[in-house]
Amino acid sequence: MSKFLFAVFLIFLSCQIKAIEVIDLYQYKILVSDKTRQSRLTASRDALFKVLIKVSGRIIDKSSPAFRKAIRNIPAYMLKYEYSDGANNQQFLVIKFEANKVNQLLESVGQPIWGNRRPLVALWLAVEDELQRELVTQDSFPQIEQLLSDKSTRRGLPLVIPLLDLEDRQIVSVTDVWANFSEPVNLASQRYNAERIVTARLYVNINNNTWQLDWRFSDESQFAVNELVGDKQQIVGQMIDDVADKLSIEYAVKALNFNNDGLFNITIVGINNFTKLELVKRRLLSLSVIDAVTLKVVKDNKFYMQLKLSGNELDLSKALHLDSAFIRLFDPLASEKENPKNEYRWVGLK
């Protein structure tokens, strides 16, 4: 199993969470031919473009005036860089960009910011080759598994490829994945605690003798099939791009202009000392949708806070839903009037 996917899996074994905290969002590793200044500048411009995609989850228009201005002054966006050696005498340039400047650039080109806590996707991919169908694992299709790992890392998309061990095989079969039978797939995915589940099938279309990949989210709300046709590796990579694009539309936060200055009130319970209060404030500020946190009132062990948002209330709700440190207080049997509004319990980091 690749290092990235294995690390993700270890996170699941250690704690029950809804989202993965993606590291190095503002960093990119790119192949270079030499260590000359011109080569570094060219690679840095390409790396900035890729980082913008990773941070926003969207494809950026290279022709936009703001982007063209940025690449003309690329050193101003670079925090640090270093070279590293790869296999077969390859050389890589590893660049870390300044987060604030990248975020400002995204805002100037009208693109959202996708926070570093992102939904983990469990991918069940069935491949039909010479009339034999098999699910992708590191052992069965190592090249495809590595491609999925590399592509998802570059897009900042947390991805887990199921182990397909005895426990998985007792619940789900290649036929279930091929036919998108959601019940066994969802049941088998529970052990990975994925927020979203994708089933996909890769095969040669006998009508045109080309590779075709059909994929879909397993939940009923996104049941439409997405079809890709072309080179096998190209369409596998394109699937990851498409999944990231769709999730970024759902979760990424776009800066908005509010008539009320983007202020939003929230209540937090479960805070019993100053240390926890500081942890709560820092955790809230780590969400890309929140620009500022102000404590207004403390009453009956409830902390009433005012948030300044860069997105809207729905963006905040999605971000808090993905964050395991907060649990929304909601009684499904109570009426809307009886339920607390915008009230969450701080359970902390486990």
State which residues of the chain have pLDDT below 70.
Answer: 1-18, 220-224, 254-261, 332-339, 350
Query: What is the pLDDT, as a whole number, of residue 307?
Result: 92
Is-contact 54 46, C-beta < 8 A?
A: no
Burial-class residue 345 by CB neighbours within 10 Å (0-12, 13-18, 19+): middle
**Distances from the Cα of 281 to the Cα of 276, 277, 284, 329, angstroms:** 9, 6, 5, 19
* Residues 218-272 pLDDT 10s: 875 555 689 999 999 999 999 999 999 999 988 887 654 444 567 889 999 999 9
Please state, in angstroms and rounded to a whole number, the distance separating the CA atoms of residues 121 and 243: 9
Query: What is the pLDDT, as a whole number, of residue 94?
Result: 97
Query: What is the pLDDT, as a whole number, of residue 225?
Result: 84
Q: Which class would CATH give 3-22+116-251? A: alpha beta
Query: What is the pLDDT, as a whole number, of residue 155?
Result: 95
Strands 121-129 and 159-160: parallel
Per-residue three-class SS string for the chain: CCHHHHHHHHHHHHCCCCEEECCCCCEEEEEECCCCHHHHHHHHHHHHHHHHHHHHCCCCCCCCHHHHHHHHCHHHHEEEEEEEECHHHCEEEEEEECHHHHHHHHHHCCCCECCCEEECEEEEEEEEECCEEEECCCCCCHHHHHHHHHHHHHHCCCEECCCCCHHHHCCCCHHHHHCCCHHHHHHHHHHHCCCEEEEEEEEEECCCCEEEEEEEECCHHHCCCEEEEECHHHHHHHHHHHHHHHHHHHHCECCCCCCCCCEEEEEEECCCCHHHHHHHHHHHHCCCCEEEEEEEEEECCEEEEEEEECCCHHHHHHHHHHCCCEEECCCCCCCCCCCCCCEEEECCCC
Query: What is the pLDDT, as a whole number, of residue 20?
Result: 86
Query: What is the pLDDT, as a whole number, of residue 68?
Result: 95
Is-contact 199 136, C-beta < 8 A?
A: no
- Structural domain spans, the chain: 3-22+116-251, 27-108, 263-346
Same fold, 3-22+116-251 and 263-346: no
* Residues 98-146 pLDDT 10s: 999 999 999 899 888 898 889 999 999 999 998 899 999 999 999 999 9
Give me the CATH topology for the region 263-346. Answer: Alpha-Beta Plaits (3.30.70)
Query: What is the pLDDT, as a whole number, of residue 335?
Result: 65
